[in-house]
Structure 1
C-alpha cells in the first residue's frame, strides 16, 4: 500500500511538468553546444616554424603564415601544418638515439648496416654513413604530389648514393673523393625530386663516416699504412730530385760558361797573334834585315831570363866565387 501511494505522487509530479519546457531546454543545450563547437572550430594558430595548408572540402584554398587565423567552422575548412621553416633530415646507416648535453648519441644496428654497406667500382665493400638535410619549399606540393614523401626521399637518396659509390674506386671513396661524392649526390637527388615536383629543396648531403667493414679493418689499416709509407718515400725522392737536379743544372751552366770563356780567350789570343804576325810580315817586307835582327833580339830577351845563371869560364880557369847575390830579386833566375 505504501508503494502505491508513492507511485501516485510521482505520477502527479510528472503530470505537472510542462513537456514543451523540457523540449526547449534540450534545444537550447544542443544549440549552445553547436555554437561552442562552431567557435572552437572557427580559428586556428600556425606555429612559427611552418605554414598551414587550408582546405575546403578537400580543395586547397590558402596557405597561411604563422599566427592566428580564422576559417569556416564545423569542419568545412581544415588546416594541415607543414614545417617549412624547419630543417628536416634523413639518416642512413645510423640513427640519432638521444641528445646528452652538447653531444648526440648514435646507434647502429644490422638493419642500419644494410643501408650503409655498398659495393665500389673495384668490387670493394665500404660502410658509408650519410645524412640528407632538406626543407619544404611548397607545402601544397609536399602534401599532395607524392604519397609517403619521407620514404620516397629515403629511397631516392639511397639509390643515388649507391650508384655514385659504385662508379668510384674504394680507395677514392675512403679518402679523396668524399666531398665530391656528397656534392654529386646532392645534385642528383635534387634533380629527381624536381622531376617528381615534390616541393622539397635539398640543403646538404654529408658523409658522416666512411670505413671498411669491421671484418677487413685490420687488413685495410695495413694497406693504408703501406700507402702512407709509399707516399713518404715518393715525397723524399721528389725532395732529393728537386735538390740535385737544380744543382746539376747550375754546375752544367757553370761548366758551359767556363768553356765559353776559355773559347773566347783562345779565339781572341789567336786573333791577336794573327794580327801581330801580319804586322811583323808587313814590316819584314819593308826592311827584312832590321826586322830579322829585332825578332832575334826579342826572342833572346824572352828566352835567356828563363835559363837561370850562365857562367862562362876560360879553359883551365878556376870556378868563379860568388861575391854578390845580384840576382836575388829576379824570380825567374832564382828558379
Structure 2
C-alpha cells in the first residue's frame, strides 16, 4: 500500500521527508549537497550549519593548484611527437621558421611550436605530356617522365606556394622549348637522346633561381608518336629510314670486304710495273754493254762484224722456231716453216710467261741486281763466244 493511500490512518509515519526521529525537515538543501560532495573530493569544506550560515565560501586555492598541475601534465605529454625515418621535420615557432629536426622522438611546446614533416628519402615522379609543335611545323605527341626528390624541406615548403606544381610547369615549358627547336624526325628517331639531355639541362637552369628545394634525379623521354591522322604515313617514313640505315651498313660491309682485295691488286700491279721497269733497264744496259764490246771489233772489221751479227741473229731465230729442212738434189736447200706450230708455240710461251710473272713478282725486285749482273755476263759471254768463233773462222 502506498504511503499516501486513502484510508491509511497513520500516513505521517510514512512521510519520506521526515527523519527517523519523527521531525519534519522539509526538502533537502542543494547547496549543502554540493558542498558535501566537494568536501569528499578534497576541493571544499564540509558545509556545517551554524547560525543559518555556511562556513565554506567557494573553491579554495588548493583546488585550483591541482587543476593547474593536471593541465601542465597534459600539455607536456601532448608535446611529444615522432618523425619517421624517411622524413625531416620543419619546426615553426609562432608561425616563423625555427629549425629542422631529424627522424626520431622529439618534444615541442604545444600551442607555441608546430611541426610539418617532409619525405626526403623516397623518389617522386610525374609525367609531362601533350601535343607540341616541332621546328619543321609538325605536331607530335611527347611524354616525359620526371623523377625527383626533396633535398631542402624548408625551401620545398615555403620558397614557393607549391613546389610540385612549379616543377611540373617548368618541365612543360622546357620540353616545349626543346621540341620547338628540333625537327620531327629527330624527336621520333635518332634525336631522342639529345631532346632528353637538352630538356634536363634547360629544366635545371629554369628551377635554380626559384630554390624549390628539389633535386631532379633523372628524366626519361618516352617514345613519341605523331597524331593518329598521319600515323601510317610516319610509320612508312620511319621504315624507309631504317631501310636506309640497313643499306648503308651493307654498303660499308661490302666496302670493307672489297677494299683489301683492291689494295692487294694495286700492290701487285705496282710490283709488276716496278719489275718490268727494272727488267727493261737491265736489258737496255746489257744491250749497251754488248754494243760497247762490239764497237772496237766493228771499227777494226766492219764487214766481218756485220756478217757475224747477222748469223747470230739467224741462229737465235732458228733456235726458237720449229723448222723442216728439205734437201733438193741439184738445187739450193729450201726451208719450210710450219706456221700453225709456230703460232701454237708462241701461245704456250705467252701463257707460261704470264704465269711466271704472276708467281715470281715478289722475287723480281730482290733479284734485280743479280739479273743485271747476269745480263751483263751473258752479253759478255755471248760477245766472247762470237769473237772466238769469228777468230776461229779467220784462223
Question: If the TM-score is normalised by the length of the shorter chain, which range does it land in?
Answer: 0.7 to 0.9
Q: 1: distance between equivalents of 2:302 and 2:123?
A: 113
Q: 2: distance between equivalents of 1:53 and 1:7?
A: 66
> Pairwise mapping of residues 103-182 of structure 1 onto structure 2 (< 5 A)?
116-182=130-196
- What is the deviation of 1:223? 2.0
**SS of match in other structure, 2:143:** strand
Please name the residue that 1:60 is paired with. Answer: 97
> Pairwise mapping of residues 16-95 of structure 1 onto structure 2 (< 5 A)?
17=36, 21=44, 23=59, 27=64, 30-31=67-68, 34-71=71-108, 73-93=109-129
Please name the residue that 1:217 is paired with. Answer: 231
- What is the deviation of 1:75? 1.6
Q: 2: distance between equivalents of 1:195 and 1:16?
A: 70
Farther-moved stretch of structure 1 (131-140 vs 307-316):
307-316
- What is the deviation of 1:182? 1.9
Please name the residue that 1:302 is paired with. Answer: 316
Please name the residue that 1:321 is paired with. Answer: none
- What is the deviation of 1:190? 1.8
Provide closer, same or farther for how the CA distance between residues 293 and 121 of structure 1 changes in structure 2, counting only shifts above 3 A.
closer
Provide closer, same or farther for how the CA distance between residues 90 and 33 of structure 1 changes in structure 2, counting only shifts above 3 A.
farther
- What is the deviation of 1:313? 3.5
- What is the deviation of 1:300? 5.0
**SS of match in other structure, 1:215:** helix
Farther-moved stretch of structure 1 (17-26 vs 37-46):
17-26
| Residue 9 (structure 1) aligned to one of 18, 22, 28 | 28
Please name the residue that 1:198 is paired with. Answer: 212
Q: 2: distance between equivalents of 1:307 and 1:49?
A: 108
**SS of match in other structure, 1:183:** helix
Provide closer, same or farther for how the CA distance between residues 32 and 89 of structure 1 changes in structure 2, counting only shifts above 3 A.
farther
- What is the deviation of 1:288? 5.1
- What is the deviation of 1:309? 3.6
Please name the residue that 1:111 is paired with. Answer: none
Kindly name which structure, 1 or 2, has the bigger radius of gyration based on alpha carbons.
2
What CA deviation, in whole Å up to 9, does each residue of 1:202-231 have, x standing for no partner?
111112332222333222222222222333
What CA deviation, in whole Å up to 9, does each residue of 1:69-105 have, x standing for no partner?
122x232121111111221222224xxxxxxxxxxxx
Please name the residue that 2:202 is paired with. Answer: 188
- What is the deviation of 1:63? 0.9
Provide closer, same or farther for how the CA distance between residues 10 and 179 of structure 1 changes in structure 2, counting only shifts above 3 A.
farther
Provide closer, same or farther for how the CA distance between residues 92 and 309 of structure 1 changes in structure 2, counting only shifts above 3 A.
closer
Asked if the contact 2:128–2:171 (Cα under 8 Å) also holds between the matched residues in 1, the reply is: no
- What is the deviation of 1:276? 0.4
Please name the residue that 2:330 is paired with. Answer: 315
Figure out how many residues of one structure are paired with residues of the other and give that number. Answer: 294
Unpaired segments ≥5 residues, structure 1: 94-115, 317-330
Verify: 1:283 aligned to 2:297, yes or no.
yes
Higher RCO, Cα 8 Å, sep 6+:
1
Unpaired segments ≥5 residues, structure 2: 5-14, 19-24, 45-57, 332-344, 346-395
Farther-moved stretch of structure 1 (294-303 vs 22-31):
22-31
Structural RMSD (CA):
3.3
Q: 2: distance between equivalents of 1:239 and 1:83?
A: 55
Provide closer, same or farther for how the CA distance between residues 26 and 211 of structure 1 changes in structure 2, counting only shifts above 3 A.
farther
Provide closer, same or farther for how the CA distance between residues 215 and 314 of structure 1 changes in structure 2, counting only shifts above 3 A.
closer
Provide closer, same or farther for how the CA distance between residues 307 and 135 of structure 1 changes in structure 2, counting only shifts above 3 A.
closer
- What is the deviation of 1:271? 1.7
Q: 2: distance between equivalents of 1:48 and 1:157?
A: 30
Q: 2: distance between equivalents of 1:15 and 1:260?
A: 137
